[in-house]
Amino acid sequence: MKTLILGAGYAGLAVATKLKPMPGLEALLVEQNPFHTFETRLHEAAAHNTRVTLPIEPLLRGTGVGFEQASVEGVDIDAREVTLKDGRVLTYDTLVVGLGSVTNFYRIPGLAEHASELKQLSDADEIYGFVNQVYSGEYEGNRDIVVGGAGLTGVELVTELAQRAEVLSKARGLPPFRIYLVEAGPKILPILDEALRQKAERVLRDYGIEILVGHRITQATEGSVTVQTADGEQKVIEAGKIIWTGGIQARDIVKGERLEKGPGGRIAVDEFLRAKNYPDVFVVGDMGLALNQEGKPVPTTAQHAGQQGRLTGKNILRLVRGEELEAYEPSTLGEFVSLGGLMAVGWMKLPWNQKLAITGGIAHVMKKASEWRWRASID
């Protein structure tokens, strides 16, 4: 069974590392980079140049999975063909699509042209370069940063940037830059309950971050954003760097006449994570629209991507052996938000659907533990 795995994000890499050499299975992982990126830690790279990648090939030892460093141009699941950007065409018997998501700018004028993203390592490098430039002593432009979107990525990014600014200000005798966190919704971190959210907000304000909830970005230029409040008031915020973390959408790269898509362009899948009407195509991670036990979309998080990838890897082995597939049952084990340094807030799942709220250093350790578990699962 010729199997292609597209993408080495959390989902795709989990698939590949769950496989093992078997008669009748020929597997190939296709990824544009020679490394896997810990996307949930890109905020650390953006502020501190922390290493957040792992080389792929050593992780595939003992799996029987080959590796092809290449970019995917298009996927035709009616023809069972994957076209690469260099013009080559790959065919398959079974396909795993884990190509992730792209930033959704919601057609806000000027935003795509003038805002940085935080989706890949090069984005983090760009932001890190700006911070260093601001503190070079020769920079004469606007030093302030506007971050749009107060979900996990936005909040974790602004706290790390504030911490970095504090260190550089003391070291070089320059004032810290101002950081604006702009959110169209009524509150930051809507995934958290009110007590944890308020704790996080207090930490952000202690850092000096200006939180603007209920402010929708309506336009961006090279050096500013225009925001509008719920009552229609508009104001312009000038900035040297604009960063957008306010939304994602699935990559629009898979074509099929019977393909079904849902919100955000995510591909509808069955209980085994196969694209509906295409039993030879598994879709995992951000691109797949999997449903939980209540019939609601599974969140596009790293923990769920890893769960989907590990299950799909096992199901591919079951296909080869002629066994029945195992259905996907998502489980949210917890959610932790890093707030810079050794500070974090979040919750972990307890028996009988209870949640235990955790803050401070213990929450930081729990967040790190989830990363250690992920690392152990792919080694």
Token code pair at residue 266: 């995510």
Pairing status of strand 35-37 against strand 281-283: unpaired
Query: What amino acid occupies position 276?
Result: K
Distance CA 181, CA 4 (A): 41
Q: Which of 31, 39, 117, 156 is catalytic?
A: 156
Q: Does 73 qualify as catalytic in the annotation?
A: no
Work out the number of other CB atoms within 10 angstroms of the CB of residue 102: 16
* φ, ψ dihedrals at 14, nearest 5°: -65, -40
Distance CA 218, CA 326 (A): 46
Q: Please count the residues of the chain.
A: 379
Active site residues: 156
